[in-house]
Amino acid sequence: MTRILVIDDDVELCELLTEYLQPEGFDVEAVNDSRQGIDRALSGDHSLVVLDVMLPKVSGFEVLRCIRASSRVPVLMLTARGEEIDRIVGLEMGADDYLPKPFNPRELVARLRAIHRRTDGAAREAGSPAEAEVLAVGDLVLEVMTRTVRRSGKHLVVTAAEFSLLRELLQRAGQVVSREELAERVLGRKLAVFDRSIDVHVSSLRKKLGLGRDGFERIKTIRSVGYIYIKATNGDD
């Protein structure tokens, strides 16, 4: 059973979700209050958090900010449909994925599984020595086992989604990786028409990584194709 925390003020929806998700292999703890939600999310009891943006008193964004201040637990945001800005802000603040509300619960299950696969899979990989890979490109070092990213030895804090994204790009540094491929491998789903998740994750990642040694963006956009991690041509260091 995967323990998940649902933070949503809609009590009835929480009950229905608990009932629906239980047989799917999710042990649901529902919290209807923001402050309590923050406390529970930081308890470390859950492997996933489902967070509604439209919470009374303390908004979902504020809750996310508090969680991200000290925890990297994967967070899926439930946003209002059509509020593009909510999705972007949510992802920029470190949410791993989002789902517009109202949603089809089957879609929710698919997203939850994708996120879980990503984090759980990484943990399993870390367990086996063969997967204990270390990717080093230029001054950047990504360690799969400890899920850490270091730039010139300095530790960088990245979210689970950003970590997976960077890993995909570094594994094929110097090659273009298409947005679709990134979406499938990082988010575990296909991109819808207006889905800018990958672009937002790349954007936050760029901010965290900073410019390369030559003063250029490390991750370059290849218009209407995808992204490429620029490999320094004049050798490493």
Partner 1 sequence: MILGGAVSVVVMYTFQHLSLESMKNDVTRKNDENLARMIILSGQAAWEMYLCGGPEEYRNYLDGLAAGAGIRITLVRDDNRKITGEPLDHESEKLAVSARIRGDAIIRKADENLTVARSLTNREGGSVVVVGVQAFPPGMPPPEEGGMSFPGPPPGMPPPPEAGGPPFSGGPPPGMLPQPDGGKLHFISHLFPPFWGTGEIVRTAIMFLVVSGVCYLLARSLTIPIRKLQRIAQQIAEGDYSVRVGKIPGGTGSELAALGRDFDIMVERTEKVIGAQKRLLRDISHELRSPLARLNVALELAKKQLNAQDSISLNKIGKESVRLNELIGHLLILARLESGAGLLAVEEINLTGLVREVAEDVDFEASSKGAGVEIAFAQEVSVTGSRELLRRAIENIVRNAAQYTERDTLVQIFLSAEGKEAEIRVVDSGTGVPEQDLPHLFEPFYRVAKARERQTGGAGIGLAIAEQAIKAHGGKVIAQNGVGQKGLVVTVTFPRSL
Q: Is 224 in the site for partner 1 (CB under 8 A)?
A: yes
Q: Is 105 in the site for partner 1 (CB under 8 A)?
A: yes
Judged by CB under 8 A, the residue of 35, 43, 69, 106 near partner 1 is 106
Please tell me whether the peptide bond between 102 and the residue prior to it is cis, using omega within 30 degrees of 0. Answer: yes
- Return the C-alpha torsion angle 67, 72, 77, 83, nearest 10: 80
Among the listed residues 25, 11, 167, 5, the one whose alpha carbon sits nearest the alpha carbon of residue 76: 5
Contact criterion met (CB below 8 Å) for 87 and 45: no
Looking at the DSSP bridge assignments, the partners of residue 155 are 150
**Please, which of residues 63-92 interact with partner 1 by CB under 8 A?**
80-85, 88
Q: In angstroms, give the least distance from the CB of 73 to partner 1.
A: 23
Q: In angstroms, give the least distance from the CB of 196 to partner 1.
A: 8
Q: Is 190 in the site for partner 1 (CB under 8 A)?
A: no
Residue 39 amino acid letter: D
Q: Is 130 in the site for partner 1 (CB under 8 A)?
A: no
**Given the complex with partner 1, which of 11 and 157 has the nearer CB atom?**
11
Judged by CB under 8 A, the residue of 23, 129, 153, 235 near partner 1 is 23
Contact criterion met (CB below 8 Å) for 209 and 140: yes
Contact criterion met (CB below 8 Å) for 150 and 200: no
**Please, which of residues 32-61 interact with partner 1 by CB under 8 A?**
54
Binding site for partner 1 (CB under 8 A): 10, 12-13, 16-17, 19-20, 23, 54, 80-85, 88, 101-106, 193-194, 224
